[in-house]
Amino acid sequence: MIPIVFGIDQSYILQLFTVMYSVLKNTKSEIHFIVLSKDKIEAYTDEFAEILSKTYDNFTLDIRRVQGETFDNVQIFHKHLSMSSYFRLMIPEIVKEYDKCIYLDSDIMVNSDIQELFYTDIDDYYLAGVQDCHLVFGNNYFGIKEHIKTNMPFVKTYVNAGVLVMNLKKLRDNNMTAEFLLQAKRKNRYEDQDVINLCCYKAIKALPIKFNMFQHYTGSAVECPLNSIYTRSEIEIGRNEPAILHFNSRYKPWENRKYKSSDRWWELAESFRNTQDYHSVFRECRKIGDDLREVNHIFEVCSGKKVILWGFTDQGRDVCDIFLRRGIMPYAFCDNDKKKQGESYKGIPVLKLDFARNQEEIIWVVTCKNAYQEVQKQLLDAGIEEADIFHFTFNNRDKEEYFVIDPRYYEEEVQIIALCENDKAKMRDDEFLACLRRLIEKADMKDGMYEYLYRKYRFDLWLKA
């Protein structure tokens, strides 16, 4: 029996069972799935477990309650995470019937027999994991490199906590759960992952990178690092044939079909297509072409209308420039920051909401990426119709998002860039698109237009894939 433990909240039921399906699809071993949650999720899991049991009979499932107040005061620095991420710290005390287990996040996909991972020899270690891929490939995502060099006692064994083989007996014998809970009360920039690495660094075994490959680094968009604890051969296997693929960070396959391996994830999730959860997630997931259609639609809706841009930030001003190139003159900016109210950009004033909402027939374009839902709620509470609120985020693409977009959809990205960068008063959209393609192909840094676009969109990071 191979025990596999998860920690989730009620919002991740479909994702959880999609991982379970991927495990069972690739093994004949008996699997004991143990799910830790503070929520009462049985009403949801029973339906999914019944669907899963119609195809596989080599598993059992237990739901075990975690006292949520244990982690009430922990700090969450990354918005795509929740308190349930900390539940793995309790595994040695909650899963007492086993001396060893696998822990898996719910944003992964298993592509090979899980028993190879489980039978890793960790008798002399607290746990085994894969060095965080952002470190392996030298990507300073959210300042992780500086953080680890400054705050971690040993860089080489700093592992990503999404896939772990845990020596529960050794952890219990050394009362490590108490150490975990003590460290969890302190500031941990990478949440429970920091806790595990700080407490266990003297006894962590490095697993092959194929067991926790981030979607960012699959394919050929990023060159293999020269200095790594992994050989070039190990990295190539991980990139091209990952045993476990991790949809790390906020770019998930259930949020946008354009992301790498999204189609494979949805093939697995399709097994649960008759559930309400599946249909809810399916409706919210952006489809191929949605990004381009949305940009075109916003330009069409805003043309000739009174437009207010929410957010007087660099992002907001960038959207303003895009609109001006499209021949759309925004009426105003709106911002909650009182210090910004009264300022202006290219003659466009910054207003407070109370004044701006009194204007008639306004189209609201929210330019902030991560706070859209909060802003939308504020606008709705102010009596603004939902149909008049739009979200423009394309200008907020960061280089990490380009890493996770499937190369098959790069052409759509180029088309959106062409729409947003073209000055319609000087050139037709189709002419500028053709010009942009020539610029990209030539890649001449001496060309002022190419240099500007290169620095803004970092073509070298994704168009080479």
| Distance separating alpha carbons of residues 141 and 190, to the nearest angstrom | 11
428 pLDDT band, cuts 50/70/90, is very high
| Distance separating alpha carbons of residues 246 and 162, to the nearest angstrom | 8
270 and 140 assigned to the same domain: yes
189 and 334 assigned to the same domain: no
Domains in the chain, number: 3
Say if residues 41 and 13 touch (Cβ distance below 8 Å): yes
The DSSP letter of residue 68 is: G
End-of-domain residue from the set 268, 284, 300: 284
The DSSP letter of residue 106 is: S
274 and 353 assigned to the same domain: no
Q: Which stretches of 345-409 are DSSP H helices?
A: 353-356, 372-381, 399-404
**How high does pLDDT run on average in the chain?**
88
Counting every residue, how long is the chain?
A: 465
47 and 81 assigned to the same domain: yes
Region 5-10 average pLDDT: 90
What is the pairing mode between strands 204-206 and 332-334?
unpaired
Does residue 185 register a pLDDT over 60? yes
| Residue 425 burial (C-beta neighbours within 10 Å; 0-12, 13-18, 19+) | exposed
279 and 296 assigned to the same domain: no
39 and 150 assigned to the same domain: yes
Q: How far is CA 161 from the centre of its chain?
A: 15
Q: Tell me which of 246 and 449 has the higher pLDDT.
A: 246
Region 194-211 average pLDDT: 90
Q: Tell me which of 26 and 251 has the higher pLDDT.
A: 26
Say if residues 341 and 366 touch (Cβ distance below 8 Å): no
User: Which CATH number covers residue 378?
Assistant: 3.40.50.720
The DSSP letter of residue 10 is: G
175 and 193 assigned to the same domain: yes
End-of-domain residue from the set 378, 396, 414: 396
Structural domain including 354 reads: 290-396
Region 107-131 average pLDDT: 96
* Per-residue model confidence as pLDDT tens digits over 156-168: 778 999 999 999 9
CA atoms within 13 A on the CB side of 226: 0
End-of-domain residue from the set 234, 269, 284: 284
325 and 425 assigned to the same domain: no
CA atoms within 13 A on the CB side of 215: 28
How is residue 249 written in tokens?
């960070």
228 and 156 assigned to the same domain: yes
Does residue 38 register a pLDDT over 60? yes
| Residue 212 burial (C-beta neighbours within 10 Å; 0-12, 13-18, 19+) | buried
Among 43-52, 86-95, 420-429, name the one with the lowest average pLDDT. Answer: 86-95
The DSSP letter of residue 287 is: P
| CB neighbour list of residue 172: distance below 8 Å, 6 or more residues apart | 92, 93, 96
Confidence (pLDDT) at 71: 62
269 and 359 assigned to the same domain: no
102 and 212 assigned to the same domain: yes
* Per-residue model confidence as pLDDT tens digits over 348-361: 999 988 876 666 78
User: Which CATH number covers residue 72?
Assistant: 3.90.550.10
74 and 221 assigned to the same domain: yes
| CB neighbour list of residue 452: distance below 8 Å, 6 or more residues apart | none
* Per-residue model confidence as pLDDT tens digits over 40-76: 888 889 999 999 999 999 999 999 988 766 665 655 4
